[in-house]
Amino acid sequence: MDNLDNAILRHVRFYYERIYRERQIPSVKVPAGVEFAVSLGYPEGFVYKVSKADINWEKVFPCGCPLKDISLSDGVLILNVGSGIGLDAFFAEWKAGLQGQCPVTINVDVVPEVLIEGNQLAERLNATGIFWVCANGAKLPFQDNVFDLILMNGVFNIFPNKNTILREVYRVLKNDGILCLADLFVSKSLPPYFLKEMDAWAWCMSGAMTPDSVMNTFKNCGFQDTRFSHLVWLDKEKLFARGVVYSRKSDSSTI
Ligand SMILES: C[S@@+](CC[C@H](N)C(=O)[O-])C[C@H]1O[C@@H](n2cnc3c(N)ncnc32)[C@H](O)[C@@H]1O
């Protein structure tokens, strides 16, 4: 990893530490909150439930609702990389619970404070299948071929070296597992000055790729059948879009 990559990862971590630890307001006005979550596809019943348990919506920063189109079978093991407070873990439990299923989700984030807050929320919600691990997503403390489903919501773009993070999630994904990622995408490569905008790395902008380069990078890292869903352009010029990417480790994936 070169010096710039390390500097970016350090800056992003520091950025979220300040938000989660010191309740510092982000320098960029980013969408967050209840209405935003509903607009991304989180059902009102779920949003009502976590709101009643006093989730801090100011610490929830999804780019999409990656589990929206996924049905969860009993005992499915989920890894939520860059989980923050764990919104998608709570959603997985809520969604699967409607069908009497019981998933287990491990949330991984680099900032311990947000994991502690998520764990307190899990206790208030009586959510028993949710666990918390403080680690770097690019060096996951898990063995190979463990998870049925890996979620990355608003964190893929944070990593300057996409091959490193993709190879790492590929390693821990089961052979029949699925990667499901929500993030920002761009219609054309961003001008070079964006790469030096450290805060824009934290907000998933500087690291955003075009759909074509996403497809190629996923393929080069071994993923198959990569497809986009729920792509929504965010500006009149159609430079940035928000969307979800699904990809399989092999063609026997069943989720
Ligand atoms: C845009 S937020 C998304 C949070 C969460 N997925 C959500 O939907 O609310 C990005 C998250 O990635 C975490 N993060 C940053 N760098 C990371 C790294 N190297 N490994 C794991 N998580 C990281 C941040 O602490 C933050 O919680």
Residue nearest to atom 8 of ligand 1 (CA): 62
pLDDT of residue 23: 65
Q: For residue 84, is pLDDT > 80?
A: yes
Q: Is 242 helix (H, G, I), strand (E, B) or coil?
A: strand
- Residue 79 belongs to a domain: yes
Distance 193 CA to ligand 1 centre (A): 23
Number of structural domains in the chain: 1
Question: CB neighbours of 112 closer than 8 A, spacing ≥ 6?
Answer: 134
| 147: CATH | 3.40.50.150
Distance 27 CA to ligand 1 centre (A): 17
Q: Are 173 and 249 in contact (CB under 8 A)?
A: yes
Mean pLDDT is lowest, of 9-23, 124-138, 176-190, 221-235, for 9-23
Total residue count of the chain as it appears in this document: 255
Mean pLDDT of 149-172: 97
Backbone angles phi, psi at 50, to 5 degrees: -70, -30
- Residue 253 belongs to a domain: no
Q: DSSP assignment of 85-133, as one string?
A: TTHHHHHHHHHHHHTT---EEEEEES-HHHHHHHHHHHHHHT--SEEEE
pLDDT of residue 102: 86
Q: Which residues line ligand 1 (CB under 6 A)?
A: 9, 12-13, 16, 60-62, 82-84, 87, 108-111, 114, 136-138, 153-155, 158
Output the pTM of the full model. 0.95
Strand 130-134 to strand 173-186: parallel, antiparallel, or no bridges (unpaired)? unpaired
- Residue 135 belongs to a domain: yes
Residue nearest to atom 19 of ligand 1 (CA): 136
- Residue 239 belongs to a domain: yes
Integer Cα distance of 240 and 184 in angstroms: 7
- Residue 255 belongs to a domain: no
Number of H helices, E strands in the chain: 8, 7
Domain boundaries, position 158 = 3-248
Mean predicted lDDT score pLDDT of the chain = 92
Q: For residue 254, is pLDDT > 60?
A: no
Q: Summarize pLDDT for 6-53 with one digit per residue, the tens.
A: 999 999 999 999 988 876 666 656 666 788 899 999 999 999 999 999
- Residue 185 belongs to a domain: yes
Q: How many CB atoms lie within 10 A of CB 251?
A: 8
Distance 22 CA to ligand 1 centre (A): 16
pLDDT of residue 121: 98
Give the number of the atom of ligand 1 that is nearest the alpha carbon of residue 151.
6
pLDDT of residue 24: 64
Mean pLDDT of 209-226: 96
Give the number of the atom of ligand 1 that is nearest the alpha carbon of residue 204.
1
pLDDT of residue 165: 97
Q: Summarize pLDDT for 112-144 with one digit per residue, the tens.
A: 999 999 999 999 999 999 999 999 999 999 999
